[in-house]
Amino acid sequence: MVNLTFLVQDTKNGSAILSPNIQLCRCVNGECFVPEATSEQEAAIENTFLVMSCNCLFGYTGEFCGEVRDFCAGELTPPCNPLVTCANSAAGFMCGNCPNGYEGNGQICSDIDECQGNQTVCDQICTNTVSSYFCGCNDGFSLDSDERTCSDIDECSKPNNCSQLCNNTVGSYECYCRIGFLINSDNPTTCTAKVQCDANNGCDQICYIDPIQVGQEKCACNIGYSLQESDMKSCDDINECQSTQDNLCDQTCTNTVGSYTCSCLEGYSFTSPSTCTDINECLTGDFVCNGVGEECENIPGSYRCACSKRLNMVRVNGTCIFREDESIVADLAPAAPSATQEQTDNAIQITLANFQEVNYTVEANVLFKDSVVKLLNDFCNENTLRPQDCGVEQNQLFFSELNVKRLPSYPSNQGNDAIIQFYVDYPSIIRNATVDQAILASIVFAELQKLRDLTGFSITLDTSVTPPSPGTPTATQSANAVQLLISSFSTSQWTTFYDTVFRRAVVVTLNRFCEVDTYSRTEDCGLSDSQSFVLDNIARLPNNPIQSGENVQVSFYVNHPSNTNPVVLQNVLASMLVIRESDLESALSQQVQIQTSAAPATPPTATSGQTTNSVVIRISSFDANRWTYLNDRRLRSSIASRVASYCSGHLVDCQIQTGGTASFTEANVQRTSSATPSDVGGNSVDYSFYVKYPSGETPIIQYILASVVKIELDAMQSESTLFFSLQTSFQPPPPTTPNSDQSNNTVSIKIRNQQADQWHGIQDNQLRAAIATQIASYCTSNLVTCGVTSDQVSFDSSHVTRIESSPVQDGDNVTYTFFVNYPSGSGPIQRNLLAGILTAQTVAIETATNLSLSVETSTLAATPPVASSDQMSKAIIVSASNIQANQWSAVQDSKFRGYVAQAIAEYCQASVSQTQECELPANQATFTTSHVQLVPGSPSQDGGNVSIQLYVDYPGGGTMSQAILLLIVNQKLTSIATNTGLQLTVVTVIVIPTAPPPSQENTDNAINVVLKDFQADQWSLRDTLFRQNMAEEIRAFCNMSTYHRDICNISDADVNGFTSDHIRRLPNSPTQNGTDSILSFYAVLPSGSGSLPSSVLATIFTSQQDNILSVTSELENPGESISSSQTPALTPTQTQNIVAITIFNFKSAK
């Protein structure tokens, strides 16, 4: 409280006292008021001085309202999110925007889940974190440098567990096998041989049948082993650790027998059997940091103890203290160690703008080295080749701060700036050396902005990275250069090191192409076993690279390692790069485009015949735009090789004439047009081609070529290293339509383990040719059975015709139906006979075709044709004792009937008399199998024997009499039995009718005929025939002329009435007389008026003997015939005109 009193005194010492009531108002942002009085205040009010209270305006506080209220402090908690800046004012608080990764009004900030909903921030896997997110990839993919998109990992470009071949797929890979092998169903990474070898094959591990050299056994080795070239049987362990191309180890590789193991360096641990990741000791607690204010900081392979940055601590005199203001001077970086000459020579120099060496503290040194380490580790592990580009044979290369070192006396001030010279040693456990200056400088140059961002320093690189200018090429080198476009690149990035990286990438790409197989190495690359491409073989053209927008074009050529080939030809080089483009991109870690055409040359214009006979194959896993000169050349070469291989051993199959050549080359194989190959979807292309014969422009017929491709498909794929399928039909051409006779005589055979839809034209030709050959072979040895003569057995494939629908699938087998025409044009072979012939020749047909066959058509004899009553009445029966009726085959039937026909033909054509006896006109065709027929129901079983009833038709029509047939069969029975292999007996017996006893006149008029070399007991076979013939010849003789009628001297009724019943033997005739027989017979007159005089009977017999009896015979008493004295008397004129003639080969007795 204050009392204020004014005392006024004048010069006269007069005074006055004033004690005013003063109220002091000092409110800056508000209104003054007198507070309500309290007892104490009431006393104060009475005083003359009062400081008034303030009633502050909104937003102000304090005794006099002079302070702005701190709204950002809040009542209990701040009103804004801790991550947000709060702007305070008298009007209140204002929260700033929520930071990136959050959303809200500033008072409340919620984490944005960037991975939620339809966000496309990540290509595949998105993981949300507080205020941010990170992307990941599915198995089989890797995260790109943009840390968002994912790229497929080509597992096949590095070692994998496929025992033979690897096919990369999106996100994965699959194993497949070389031709001749199949994927093992129990382990899809391994392969087993399609065809197993003999047990004693001599192979150390794997034996397989070579698909190219058919039937040849070859050896191979399991994964982890290589075949020993000295014996091509033994397998040696591969040391996978010698080359990063053979192992997947990130860090340390240890070879084992047949495999290898990986291990990690100290400070790293496995994340997979081959991948190592840094152990963060600061998280695991495996660290010791005892200093005050020290915290653990993880570094690659280890950790370090550093002053806590979050507490703003710095190291001063070795101790961590709070940096309360800028006056605190942190410890400078320790002095650089001494350097070797190698380290000095490989150091590079950078300039830090507006920086002084006094600023290069411990923290600045750590930051700089960490930043360099990150640059190196990121670059040197960018792809599988980068570690080698960076100078080590490792799959991964990890530097740490311990490897980054300054040269002594650096940094060094230079005006307002500072320069630093530093080098980088390799981790000593990997390589005891220093990173080459060109490598280090180029990495820093390429990643300079990144280094600036990491350190916060303004850095320039002082060490030159410009590559030397290329030399002047020859005209040949220039003409064979190819042009490459590198995307998102600039010429300024083409450093000395990048030039090396580029040339190394080309070398790796070319060598990988050349290492595929022997053909690639020798034919495409032209290399010997000891040769390979090296860096010095790769050269840029002058003034290259050239900037092209955001990309770079570079033209270069490749000198060949050999002296014989000065430069790799342009189309070959372009083809290699196109085929292995992914290797080149992987080696460069950049997208490239080969701008020089690698396409094959335009093929010659195909004729209509060549186009018509072209064949199409579908090549899988291929893009038509990537079809190169080398792809085309190798495919055509493999086709030519396999066509030549097949056709040289199968000239007939390939329709190469005798004396022709099968020396097909790639020039004989041509694409039908430049439009092939063509894309057909499904990552496949169709390739259309024809093959012309070496001697001209004539193409191989389509179905034959398609068949050869089918047969040689595995070998063609193996030689071309392409996987393809045949699209053109390989079926044989449609056969001719059979007539009814041919349709009725088809035969079916079963071909085992075949697929009808896989039956090809050559296979059909081979089978038909084999059938024809074996029928010809059989029929040559069995002419009678086949019913042909020796000049009618020239069967060939044209005589064998399949039915159009044939073959037909039947389970695992097919049924093949066909007929065979006789070469003579007489129609088809009877089906059952044909079946029998094929059954006999099955083994030979199987050997010729490599098919397993069985004849399905019945081989039993067909049912005989219906016989007329006349034919039945003239049939005879023979019995066979060594066969069963139900086994009577068509071959046996044809053989039997054929040899019966042959026996009849031989008998009837043996002499004029026998021809007459057979009643066969001289001009009639000979007897054949078709003229001999069994009666229906024959043969039939008769106890232990088989009864065969047969008749014979004359070639000119009519049926042979039973007597004649019986006579001939009995005569030829032995021959027939021998030829047919049947034990035969003639069953039919002709019963000779009993004649009435002869009268004395009959006896007196009987004549005696000597039958030479004849057995009397065989007469019964001839009796009927003899009597028939004798009666016919009496009629013929007596009607011959008036002269002859006078000799006969009987009535016309008697002449014309003679039958076999009028010819009668004397009792017991004939009788045996030594080797001959005596036949005594007479002829009674039909009128019953007596008998024909013996002289007339003898005359008729002797004159007509050949027509009567085929047995050699003569009159026992030649004088019995009419003598010359009995001839009519001659007139003088007749006597004067007598002519003498000589009759040869005729006996006077006749």
Output the DSSP codes for 202-231. --SSEEEE-SSSTT-EEEE--TTEEE-TTT
Q: Which backbone phi and psi does 152 adopt, to 5 degrees? A: -60, 135
d(CA 981, CA 958): 30
Taking alpha carbons only, the member of 105, 109, 107, 69 closest to residue 88 is: 69
* Chain segment 174-186, per-residue pLDDT in tens: 888 877 788 888 8
* Residue 889 near residue 861, CB atoms below 8 Å: yes
Question: Which region holds residue 1068: left if phi is over 0, alpha if psi is between -120 and 50, else beta?
Answer: left
Tokens of 413: 């001030």
pLDDT at 403: 94
The predicted model gives 528-542 an average pLDDT of 92
d(CA 748, CA 854): 9
The amino acid at 339: A
Distance, C-alpha 870 to centroid of its chain: 69
Maximal CA-CA distance, the chain: 248
How far are the Cα atoms of 419, 839, 920, 972, 1124 from residue 904, in angstroms, in the given order? 127, 29, 11, 8, 40
pLDDT at 592: 95
Higher pLDDT, 340 or 253: 340
Q: Which CATH number applies to 467-598?
A: 3.30.70
Per-state percent for the chain, helix, strand, coil, to nearest 5: 30, 25, 45
Provide DSSP, 512-528: HHHTS-HHIIIIIS---
Whether 722 shows a pLDDT value over 80: the answer reads yes
* Residue 800 near residue 747, CB atoms below 8 Å: no
d(CA 301, CA 433): 19
Tokens of 555: 């033209």
Domain ranges of the chain: 6-68, 339-463, 467-598, 608-726, 732-859, 860-989, 1000-1112
Which residue in this structure is represented by tokens 């030039």? 499
pLDDT classification of 40: cutoffs 50, 70, 90: low
Give yes or no for a cis peptide into 411 (omega within 30° of 0).
yes
d(CA 703, CA 1150): 76
pLDDT at 1144: 55
pLDDT at 1140: 65
Listed as own residue / partner, the contacts of 313-319 with beta carbons closer than 8 Å and 24 or more positions apart are 314/361, 314/363, 315/362, 315/363, 319/291, 319/292, 319/293
Higher pLDDT, 36 or 255: 255
* Residue 624 near residue 683, CB atoms below 8 Å: no
The predicted model gives 535-557 an average pLDDT of 95
d(CA 687, CA 991): 85
The length of the chain is: 1150
The amino acid at 25: C
Say which range, 303-317, 333-347, 667-681, 1017-1031, has the weakest mean pLDDT: 303-317
The predicted model gives 510-519 an average pLDDT of 91
* Residue 243 CB coordination number (10 Å): 13
d(CA 412, CA 409): 7
Kindly report the CA angle at 427 between 421 and 429, in degrees rounded to 5? 155
Distance, C-alpha 1047 to centroid of its chain: 99
Give yes or no for a cis peptide into 561 (omega within 30° of 0).
no
DSSP letter, residue 240: G
CA dihedral 832, 837, 842, 845 (to 10 degrees): -120
The predicted model gives 675-701 an average pLDDT of 95
Burial class (CB in 10 A: 0-12, 13-18, 19+), 332: middle
Give yes or no for a cis peptide into 823 (omega within 30° of 0).
no
d(CA 590, CA 551): 11
* Chain segment 795-812, per-residue pLDDT in tens: 999 999 999 999 999 999
Q: Which distant-in-sequence residues (6+ apart) come within 8 Å of 376 by Cβ?
A: 390, 397, 399, 424, 435, 440, 443
* Chain segment 564-587, per-residue pLDDT in tens: 778 999 999 999 999 999 889 988
Rank 247-256, 378-387, 680-689 by mean pLDDT and report only the highest: 680-689
Query: Going by DSSP bridges, is the β-strand pair 22-24/49-51 parallel, antiparallel, or unpaired?
Result: parallel
What is the number of helices (H) and of strands (E) in the chain? 32, 62
pLDDT classification of 1005: cutoffs 50, 70, 90: very high
> 464 by DSSP, 3-state: which?
coil
Tokens of 654: 């390939």
Q: Which distant-in-sequence residues (6+ apart) come within 8 Å of 978 by Cβ?
A: none
Sign (positive or negative) of CA dihedral 1009, 1013, 1015, 1018: negative
Tokens of 231: 């014996």
pLDDT at 139: 83
Q: Which distant-in-sequence residues (6+ apart) come within 8 Å of 125 by Cβ?
A: 135, 136, 137, 138
The predicted model gives 970-986 an average pLDDT of 94
pLDDT at 121: 81
* Residue 749 near residue 816, CB atoms below 8 Å: yes
Whether 937 shows a pLDDT value over 90: the answer reads yes
pLDDT at 418: 95
> 379 by DSSP, 3-state: which?
helix
The amino acid at 444: V
The predicted model gives 1017-1039 an average pLDDT of 89
pLDDT classification of 1149: cutoffs 50, 70, 90: very low
Taking alpha carbons only, the member of 991, 1020, 1030, 993 closest to residue 1109 is: 1030
The predicted model gives 870-879 an average pLDDT of 95
d(CA 72, CA 52): 30
Q: Which backbone phi and psi does 864 adopt, to 5 degrees? A: -60, 155
pLDDT classification of 1128: cutoffs 50, 70, 90: low
Q: What is the average pLDDT score of the chain?
A: 88
How far are the Cα atoms of 223, 227, 237, 505 from residue 189, in angstroms, in the given order? 10, 20, 19, 29
Rg of the chain over Cα atoms, rounded to whole angstroms, equals 60
Whether 38 shows a pLDDT value over 60: the answer reads no
d(CA 320, CA 206): 68
pLDDT at 1150: 47
Sign (positive or negative) of CA dihedral 912, 917, 922, 927: negative
d(CA 517, CA 524): 10
Helix (H) or strand (E) holding 845: helix 842-849
Tokens of 1114: 């003569």
Whether 131 shows a pLDDT value over 90: the answer reads no
Angle between helices 496-514 and 437-446 (to 10 degrees): 100
The predicted model gives 248-270 an average pLDDT of 86
pLDDT at 1125: 46
* Chain segment 443-474, per-residue pLDDT in tens: 999 899 999 999 999 999 999 998 989 999 99
DSSP letter, residue 466: P
d(CA 645, CA 979): 47
Say which range, 108-112, 842-846, 956-960, 979-983, has the weakest mean pLDDT: 108-112
pLDDT at 1123: 55
d(CA 756, CA 804): 12
pLDDT at 1142: 60
Q: Where would I find the H helices in 224-361? A: 281-284, 341-345
Which residue in this structure is represented by tokens 């990130």? 250
Whether 738 shows a pLDDT value over 60: the answer reads yes
Higher pLDDT, 930 or 186: 930
d(CA 19, CA 48): 6
Whether 1054 shows a pLDDT value over 60: the answer reads yes
The pTM of the full predicted model, rounded to 2 decimals, is: 0.68
Helix (H) or strand (E) holding 771: helix 761-781
Q: Which distant-in-sequence residues (6+ apart) come within 8 Å of 369 by Cβ?
A: 401, 404
